[in-house]
Structure 1
Amino acid sequence: MGLFDKIFSSSSNSNLSKPEAFAGIMLATVAADGHISDEEVAGFNAVISRMKLFQTQSASEHLAMIDKLFGILKRSSAKELLTKSAEVLPSELREAAFAVSADLIFADGSVEEEEKVLLETLQQQLGIPDDLAMQVVRVMEVKNRN
């Protein structure tokens, strides 16, 4: 990391809001395999449009949030975005974030190794118990089977 990376990354990556943290986890999930499919984009947008967490965002606030998160993703990695987001995500949103991430991983019909690793990392970072994680993954696999 260079001198300017230290300066710019510390000021622009800090202080994620609840919506940014949740969306950051979703973006890290869909970017985990290095490719964001049309199905993953549709799933991402569907979650944003349904959740109360995002209902008060104006269009400009939504675009600013997406720009900020993509900036973090471009400067670092999906894993780093996931970690930054998980650190600030409140406990009441952790199970939902894990479930949404599992759903997004299955959205394009295949689960890549990078996505498996990311979901396991997310489970650990969010403190999701193994039994709940297994139930969520099984349900999402069934939901997205065809």
Structure 2
Amino acid sequence: MGFEFYAEYALSDAPEYEAVLHELRDEHEQQMMVMHIDVYHFAPSVLKRMKREFSALRSCTDANLFAIEPSPDDAKWQRFVTIMGFDFLCRVECTDGLSRRCYVSKKKNNDLIQHFRVQNERPVVGPTAVSSAGVRAGVNEPR
């Protein structure tokens, strides 16, 4: 059994974008925090604000934050998470049968990162969690 949705924490609810953290847990109560951003209007000033807010979040938490792409091999998504400071961790096999890239924003000296590298052989999240757990860099329809 993989990680399942546990809780959601709102980070930002601006007209241009909203950001949340999804807390996932497995059967052993291990925690995985997944960053999710919906972008409604993109501009350089919006990206600057997003980076500033994310930097503030990283300054007050040592938790590793993960981002799983919403669709396999999405180049636009990869550019966005890289700009936000996430690093490639591994590919994960999701329960919908598709392999997706998992990126991480981490603090140094955290053994949990190795756990996810070892565990990537089994499904990590269900198909409903994947659609809401990835960081999407595309512009969505207005709310």
> TM-score, normalising length from structure 1?
0.33
> TM-score, normalising length from structure 2?
0.33
* Bigger RCO (CA 8 Å, 6+ sep): 1
Higher relative strand content: 2
Higher relative helix content: 1
